[in-house]
A and B are shown apart, each in its own frame.
Chain A
Amino acid sequence: MAIIEAVALRKVFRSRERQPGIGGAIAALFTRSYVDKVAVDDISFSLERGELVGYIGPNGAGKSTTIKMLTGILVPTSGVLRVAGIVPHTHRMANAANIGVVFGQRSQLYWDLPLRESFELLRAIYDVPRDRYLQNMKHFAEILDLDRFLSTPVRQLSLGERMRGDFAAAMLHDPKIVYLDEPTIGLDVIAKEAIREFIGTVNRERGTTVILTTHDLADVERLSRRIILIDDGTVIYDGSLERLRDEYGTHRTLVVSLAEPYPDFEVAGTEIVSREANLVRLRFNRREITAEALIRRVTEHYHITDVSIIEPDIESIVRTIYLEGYHDGSDGAPS
């Protein structure tokens, strides 16, 4: 049974339109015109218990709006939404007990209190049994290395420390589902790695369902098998990372070091991406020619000293899709 079920979800924001300047301000007192902004147009997906899904899209694609509907703080304009059998916005409190949320840009910790006190308050708010609380705290303190700053007021914590605190806070009540909204934003490499490690551990060991929105595709590559790609408020891809790479990553790059400076170096069926002295990057479609055949083709005409192949990274694939839209890669790759 699916733990999250979204069908034809739609959210339209209505805001008042105002002409600029003093005239506009006065006019706004008498007439009201509204502009509708479609944040989420038509989004459907379903998640199984224990899945870890990357929810990806450019700025303004509707990621955060979807998350807010999932948490019950935004009411969908239309569509059906069920989270663990509950309609979030009609049963906000029951839904809240099932979920944990981490916003990279917003903390749910109490600013002036030592970190430990925030946890104590959350324990009371979520009504976590004392022994379960202690057990979780011990576990999280271990993985997230919290002990060093448990008694420091939150406002004095570094961003990395605060984020680790926020993760522990979101997981304290053993939520069935956690929503992570850009959890690694602004973190250094080490802190990012610690957070990723934690997300992976929680998903594996506790079977927590995770929805992860991020701009850092390394998060997704490291953690999730499935990604949902959205743009303009609609789902443009939903499936495994491998399939996306397969369909879109049709172009690989062959890096060749030439033994001699051939001024008119050229290889049929490839495109020269760049050339710095004797180092040439060639782009080729692996559906048209295998790497082996290509290398043979090169060595037939030229002397080379070294060769390597660069696989397409998920980041460039996603960038391509944002720019050109998604079309099914089976009938030939987009250029």
Chain B
Amino acid sequence: MAREATYRFDVFTSIASVLVRVYLLRMVWLALYARNAAPSDLPLHAIITYSTVALLMGLVMDIDQTRALHDKLHDGSIATDFMKPISVPLYFFADGTGEVLFHAALIVPSLLFALLIVHIDVPSLPVMGVFLVSFFLGYLVGFFINFLLNCIAFWTLEIQAMQLIVTWVTDLFGGEIIPLVIFPVFLQRIAFLLPFASMFSTPLLIYVGVIKPERYLQVLGVQLLWVTVLAVIASFVWRAGAKRIVVQGG
């Protein structure tokens, strides 16, 4: 925590940038909706709510919380972690989540400001609860994807190309920028077959009420399935990587 708090300047600049982006997003959607017929399930106030909440979620979700894994493999300092009586992947999860929680603390003032600048809908308490559960599951999906990407460094030590591709696919199919429900049908089908929709689209559609309560169990089930699948893959990859670990230098 203290490590993060050292960078106080960061805090202020990121709040300012969030406010600018919230405002710009609103202008973009206003302009788009002014020229076209609004889709029936996402009226203007819903889309503005959607993209504002997506932006705030992105503050947390877009952090590569396992970046330290890549860095430590790169400079060989992973060795000191392996010399401690701890589960190293759990350590990265705890360390990364700590960092994310710190950034989440930034959201509170941003959220309040955002409410002042643009009007966003606030759902009822039970819906908010389901949204938070879904958000957490989405966070886990994101964590395992980042973790797997950083695990590539066990083999090649260079992971940027792969990360770029995944970022691009996540941007497109995650629903962070454009809601998947306004995609053409065939793209929607692809999107729902990928884990990325679990990260943004599912919690956001719960928030704005496009996903109705009768489908809650189904969509949360899909998220849970992705978490499980990715966790299993991650544990295999981790074990294979740890086995062939070659500490650089020294």
Mark A residues whose CB is within 8 Å of B: 13, 64, 68, 71-75, 92-94, 96-97, 99, 101, 103, 105-108, 110-114, 117, 125-127, 153, 181
Residues in A neighbouring B246, C-beta threshold 8 A: 13
Sampled A-B contacts (27; CB under 8 Å)? A64-B250, A71-B79, A72-B82, A72-B83, A73-B83, A73-B245, A73-B247, A74-B245, A94-B85, A96-B83, A96-B84, A101-B80, A101-B83, A103-B250, A106-B77, A106-B79, A106-B80, A107-B80, A108-B80, A112-B6, A113-B2, A113-B3, A114-B2, A117-B2, A125-B86, A126-B85, A127-B85
- Number of chain B residues whose Cβ lies closer than 8 Å to a Cβ of chain A: 18
Is A110 in contact with B3, judged by CB distance below 8 angstroms?
A: yes
Residues in A neighbouring B241, C-beta threshold 8 A: none
Residues in B neighbouring A64, C-beta threshold 8 A: 250
Mark B residues whose CB is within 8 Å of A: 2-3, 6, 76-77, 79-80, 82-87, 243, 245-247, 250
Given A106-B79, A112-B6, do A75 and B243 touch, yes or no (CB 8 Å)? yes
**What DSSP secondary structure best describes chain B's contact surface?**
loop
Q: How far is the CB of B240 from chain A (nearest CB, A)?
A: 13
**C-alpha gap A97/B85 in the complex (Å):** 6
Is B79 in contact with A73, judged by CB distance below 8 angstroms?
A: yes
Residues in B neighbouring A125, C-beta threshold 8 A: 84-86
Closest to B82 in A: A73
Q: How far is the CB of B210 from chain A (nearest CB, A)?
A: 43
Which of A105, A112, A126, A153 is the one whose CB lies under 8 Å from B84? A126
Residues in B neighbouring A71, C-beta threshold 8 A: 79, 82-83
**C-alpha gap A103/B76 in the complex (Å):** 12
Which of B3, B77, B79, B83 is the one whose CB lies under 8 Å from A99? B83
**C-alpha gap A13/B247 in the complex (Å):** 11
**What DSSP secondary structure best describes chain A's contact surface?**
mixed
Which of A68, A73, A93, A105 is the one whose CB lies under 8 Å from B85? A93
Is B3 in contact with A112, judged by CB distance below 8 angstroms?
A: yes
Closest to A124 in B: B86
Is B3 in contact with A74, judged by CB distance below 8 angstroms?
A: no
Given contacts A97-B85, A103-B80, 9 further A-B contacts (CB under 8 A): A71-B83, A72-B82, A93-B85, A96-B84, A108-B80, A110-B3, A114-B2, A125-B84, A125-B85
Residues in B neighbouring A110, C-beta threshold 8 A: 3
Residues in A neighbouring B247, C-beta threshold 8 A: 68, 73-74
Closest to A75 in B: B243
Residues in B neighbouring A68, C-beta threshold 8 A: 79, 247
**C-alpha gap A92/B84 in the complex (Å):** 8
**C-alpha gap A93/B85 in the complex (Å):** 4
**C-alpha gap A74/B247 in the complex (Å):** 8
Residues in A neighbouring B243, C-beta threshold 8 A: 75
**C-alpha gap A73/B72 in the complex (Å):** 14
**C-alpha gap A68/B87 in the complex (Å):** 18
5 tightest Cβ-Cβ pairs between the two chains A and B: A96-B85, A112-B3, A108-B80, A73-B82, A97-B85
Residues in B neighbouring A107, C-beta threshold 8 A: 80
